[in-house]
Structure 1
Amino acid sequence: MTDSNNARQIGEVLDFWFPEDRALDIDPDRHAEHWRWRMHGGADGTIAARFGPLTERGAAGALNHWAGTPESRLALIVVLDQFPRSLWRGNPRAWAQDLAALAQALEGLENGDWDALDLPWFQIAFTQPLGHAEGSDHLTRIDRLIALRRDIAARAPAPLRPLYASLVDQAEQVHRIIASFGRHPHRNAILGRRSTPEEEAYLEKGAFPHLRVFRG
């Protein structure tokens, strides 16, 4: 694939996933609506129609060369971490790319890519894999995610700070869940994992942080 095709596809991913573009003066209600759209399945149909083959290529490791600039790495993280959750919702493949997305996020945090992204919604999306990917270091990563989100919230334009503070709260809720269970119990049935009695009680309540944030 030519560099021009890569640049076009990277631009299409970013333009689609971030309809805010670069307007820091965005209306808070409109911005919250964008977050609801991103986080609650509003994009599923369009992702399948427009980005299905691209997501398949990302899952196969065929887009790893995108990690050359901060914004192209962000586009790769979106393709690995977010698009599969829409394309393969209710299927184990939804989370099969989490470790690959995490590797991209961690590398970008270390090499300065994250710092170079000066928009709060870019930085949030860049670091979401820290909370998504299960593993033995999950709690440590969520501690880092909480600290990063606090920093983002503090630097966000004043009208947007309550929204980003809510994402700090969400990460803290995820921390409590991983501290209690060591994994995301809402994935158990789809992944064929047996839930513990404690997880069954949690699942019965249905109060999952990724579903509750930005509701209402």
Structure 2
Amino acid sequence: MTQHTQPLRWVAPSSGAVDTDVAKPGSLSEARTVVNFWRDAGPKAWFAKNASFDAAFRAEFSDLHFAAARRERDHWLSDPYACLSLILLLDQFPRNAFRGTSHMYATDSLARCYARAAVNFKHVKHLEEVLRPFVFLPFMHSEDLTDQRYCVDLYRSYAPANLEYAMQHCKIIERFGRFPHRNAELGRATTPDEQQYLDGGGFSG
């Protein structure tokens, strides 16, 4: 049997009418552009510091990020991939586009809201396996211990290959109640215990 090596690309459901504007503002086709951009970037870009990728992400989706932050795309919640687009725009996008600033975390709470909706709506099972963890990352990025433990449970159930990362984040919050590496960006004083941890190469999360 022939093996398909290329990932499937999500195509927004057709209403039956021909839409000549494939990325009409607010449409599922617009949401599709986010998912496809992120998928095409792949793991080498997802978790690396790359100024060129950050700039490309920022140039392509800044307006859409702020539209999502203003809750102008809430109607995307009912579609698995469009909901994932919201999560990417509010959780991953800021970490690339606003790297090194407090705005990296400005939309985290809304991203968690959408992520919880995605889980409750059982969207996860409809997503490609490689993209599923991005639904859970808003909980991994949370400084709330309840969210962290929930994240560990989600990874254990849906993405066990990456469970260790979830457990590492959870342990940091159990120990410090926050991520020490964020202190400078958020204007927080670093405790001696946190500084010792950071000086020792503490996991940045």
Asked whether the 8 Å contact 2:87–2:135 carries over to 1, the reply is: yes
Give the equivalent residue in structure 2 for 1:87. Answer: 97
- Structure 1 residues 49, 4: closer, same or farther in 2, change over 3 A? closer
Give the equivalent residue in structure 1 for 2:120. Answer: 110
How far 1:187 sits from its partner (Å)?
A: 0.7
CA distance in 2, matches of 1:7, 1:106: 20
Among 132, 136, 144, the alignment partner of 2:141 is 132
Alignment RMSD: 2.0
Give the equivalent residue in structure 1 for 2:40. Answer: 19
Paired amino acid for 1:177:
I
Give the equivalent residue in structure 1 for 2:14. Answer: none
Give the equivalent residue in structure 2 for 1:60. Answer: 70
CA distance in 1, matches of 2:63, 2:201: 33
CA distance in 1, matches of 2:202, 2:43: 19
Structure 1 length-normalised TM? 0.76
Among 138, 144, 148, the alignment partner of 2:150 is 144
Give the equivalent residue in structure 2 for 1:192. Answer: 187
Asked whether the 8 Å contact 1:170–1:209 carries over to 2, the reply is: no
Query: How many pairs align?
Result: 181
CA distance in 1, matches of 2:39, 2:164: 22
Asked whether the 8 Å contact 1:81–1:101 carries over to 2, the reply is: yes
Moved more, 178-187 or 35-44: 35-44
By relative contact order (CA 8 Å, sep 6+), the higher-ranking structure is: 1
How far 1:51 sits from its partner (Å)?
A: 1.1
Which protein is bigger by CA-based radius of gyration?
A: 2
Once the two structures are superposed, residues 15-71 of structure 1 have per-residue CA deviations (whole angstroms, 9 ceiling, x without a partner) of 010128xxxxxxxxxxxxx32310123331211121122122222322222212111
CA distance in 2, matches of 1:52, 1:205: 36
What's the % identity of the aligned pairs? Answer: 32
Whether 1:35 and 2:35 are equivalent positions in the alignment is no
CA distance in 2, matches of 1:177, 1:75: 28
CA distance in 2, matches of 1:49, 1:182: 34
Structure in which a larger fraction of residues adopt helix: 1
CA distance in 2, matches of 1:207, 1:133: 17
Paired amino acid for 2:34:
V
The runs of at least 4 aligned residues of structure 1 exceeding 6 Å deviation read none
How far 1:113 sits from its partner (Å)?
A: 1.7
Once the two structures are superposed, residues 143-169 of structure 1 have per-residue CA deviations (whole angstroms, 9 ceiling, x without a partner) of 222222233345xxxxxxxxxx2x211
